[in-house]
Structure 1
Amino acid sequence: MDPVNSINKDDASVQARARRRRNDQSSRDYTCGCGKSYLSYPALYTHLKQKHQGSPPQGTTQPNNMNPKANRGRPKRLDENDLKEGKSDDERSISNNEPDETIEQVLLFLDSIANFRSVIKYEKEEEKQAYLLNNFPKDYFSNSHDYHSIYNHIKDITNERLKNPDQDPLNKEEIDKDKNIKKTQISKILAYFLVAIGPLLTEEAYKEMATFIVLFQMALNDMGYQALQNYEQEQYQQGDTDKKTQSLVKQDQNMNAVYCEEQNGEHILLITNDFILSFLPSNFPKLGHVEKTFRIFGSPDEKLKNAVYVTQHLSYWLYAMKFTNSRLALYTDDDQ
């Protein structure tokens, strides 16, 4: 095992770094020959696909360090205070296509592992629904309670699209005007993510991604309230709020409260460290022989690193979709 690039489960973790501002022209290193410049390759890729039929004009440039594997060293620990928050709609959005660009970022990362893109293009909503539901890995889990909420939301979302093909169900999600994020509960948020990326993946990759998302929900249900209480206590002790911890009051009153069915995505990233370093290594082996067939995720060190990077890209999607005002910006030992 490579001692530099392997994960040490005792001290490996995720670290946030300063997020580039989207109106920072000095960081726009991805330039199209037509003069447009972007912060990321997926943004440039989308521009080329839409404006130039996928053919880069003369003069198109991008950084030389485009190999996703080149910067895959040991992850660092994430401090909750290092989660980077968006400040305005202008900063939040590079273009109206940014949610699609964040999905493309996930696909580009998976490209660095193997070819997991589906060769089938599902044009009809009923085809997408059938693919998502028929290939959902229900048989991977011994308890249907682990996945039924996400599965049912996928069914509801796709049913809504079938009934009203001209209306995106996302547009009906209520907005918290004070925090400028959607009030959507976490289980439904995770279902939206699978609806967005699932039809673009091979059956094998979709099942792995859905398993990863179900495990993320399980971790949030297990650790979410405690993580939120710790965060609120820290904010109160630092004087950042005059409110005492309230997050566990409702849980104490209702012992059946389920975090992902009660909470929106505002604090969805608080459990990132424990999810990757403790929850996944403990729970992947519980899948038994199924884990051995996985090519993306799993309990071995290299596959845990894949989980780190997919979680990062998931945070970009959550941020672009206005499900949270925070996102992860990871760096590794190779970036030091």
Structure 2
Amino acid sequence: MMPADNHTFFAPMTYILTGIPGTKESHVWISILLCLMYVVALFGNSLLLFIIVTERILHEPMYLFLSMLAAADLLLSTMTVPKMLAVFWFRAGEISFAACLTQFFFIHVSFMAESGILLAMAFDRYVAICDPLRYIIILTKSVIGKIGLAVVTRSFCIIFPLIFLVKKMNFCGTNLPPHTYCEHLAIAWLACDDITVSIWYGLAVAIFVIGLDAVLIAVSYGLILRAVFLLPSKDDRLKALHTCSSHLCVILIFYTSAFFPIFAHRFGHIIPGYILILLTNLYVLIPPMLNPVLYGVTTKEILKRVINVFHWWCRRSSLLS
């Protein structure tokens, strides 16, 4: 629904996502890259979930948290990439206002949940290394379930006000957000109202929630490293560091890919808009794509079962042929 003029307020029935402005000639190549990344993310996280759910020996705290992370990655990438590809391949950018709100709500909820899960995983590693004798007592399945519920509840409670703020906005001028999916600021900038509250709320969430998670993770790993270097045996130290290596890589990838677009959108006025939009496309795909790969390669128990799954699939294929 388009207004008669730039001063007419209207309730947007639909938006038309326009893709990445200024890169029309590269849309095919960008879409192929995004599609390949999504296939890897979808296959890797689905396989990870399947292995953890079906292997009872992996029903331990570390792997249960990892299954939560895989679920959040699947939600994050699946809520964005299919619409991105529809925009790039079929120019099918139309999306209803309700669907747009739903999309950005679940994108931000899954992103927020992922940060909380990474914090829970850091706590898991802290207990495993710094207080191993009480590990099973502290991290029971009941406690893990409560942590998972707390992560989801926190995410919903923090993101819901963004929905309220956007629904209360008056829109005018255009219903063409320059983006490939319904990102919060991409929609908010279309409003005729003062969006200062919305901008500062988003920034506060980035600093005081995501940032606090990152600080607590850093503190936990500081304590872990102190405990590791107090171990008498070099082999024990290396083994302890190895168990944390994949998680540290995931943390660095997640927070680097998250914070740069968040702050660049608000303060990086010298950065071209198409680069910012491209980065926001990548930050919803890079962690979901790399997380299962990193855990699959560095975690012996998971790698062993991934190999078993492929062996079973190859034998089954040879029998069917």
TM-score normalised by length of structure 1: 0.29
**Larger Rg: 1 or 2?**
2
Whichever structure has more helix as a proportion of its residues is 2
